[in-house]
Amino acid sequence: MGHTVPELSRVGTVELLDHDRLPGTATGPGAPGSMLLLHGFGDDKTGLRAIGDALCPAGSVAVYPSLRAHGTSPAPAWGYSPLDFAADVQRILDPAAEPLHVIGYSYGALVAAVLGVALGPRRISSVALLDQSFERLPERYEADEWAEASFLKWHYDYHHLLDALENLGIPVLSVVARQSPVVPEAERTRMLARSQRGGHFSCVVTEGTHQSFLRNSATGIIEKFYARFMETCT
């Protein structure tokens, strides 16, 4: 990927996210190109490294940011909506580079969906959303250290992002962990029904908790999604 974006930090107007850009090493079936991997709350840029190592092919690049207030990335006093997180990530992307296959886990999945809609198919080739709800659930709000992010997530409905991604022609995969409480049963049912309609959206329910499915099944499910993506492009 190019080196134009880091020049932003030299003018003193922004603090960029801490992030790694690593060459792909996968030699088997995997992503059809370069990748962007977005972790969830409480993690950092290493959180999805195993998935990137397994799927990012030689000759491509995997980008791993630590989202704001995670790892050594900037932690402003406020600004924790999905749009704020997405804007941070946009600043570290090279607009002249090849389109990216984005994977987002938990809150990172919401950020991934925002990015896909904002940047469109010229910059985003596909979006994989790992165990995240997109519907309004204000009863889940918690006034803890992530109070602002919790309010802006659970008090707003983001399912329209899925509509927008489909309308843009960007393939979307939603992976739901069966033993995880994150995606309510009713929303899971609606996602599966949406998947049955065909089009650019697919949903897979897999065994495991919110944490365990990342280790046990996520990579294989995403790999199959990429295989279907490549079939439709040939």
* Count of structural domains, the chain: 1
Mean pLDDT of 81-101: 95
Query: 21-34 pLDDT, tens per residue?
Result: 999 999 888 899 99
Query: 50-67 pLDDT, tens per residue?
Result: 999 999 999 999 999 999
Mean pLDDT of 163-191: 97
User: The domain that contains 120 carries what CATH number?
Assistant: 3.40.50.1820
Neighbours of 27 (CB within 10 A): 8
DSSP for 65-96, please give it. Answer: EPPTTSTTS---SS--SHHHHHHHHHHHS-TT
Mean pLDDT of 36-55: 97
pLDDT above 60 (res 10)? no
Q: What is the mean pLDDT of the chain?
A: 93
Sequence-distant (6+) residues with CB within 8 A of 2 are 94, 96, 97
Expressed as residue numbers, the domain containing 218 is 5-233
pLDDT of amino acid 233: 66
Confidence of residue 3 (pLDDT cuts 50, 70, 90): very low
H or E element in which residue 201 lies: strand 201-206
Among 7-21, 28-42, 93-107, 197-211, the range scoring the smallest mean pLDDT is 7-21
Chain centroid to CA 109: how far? 4
Report the distance separating Cα 56 and Cα 54, nearest Å: 6
pLDDT of amino acid 199: 87
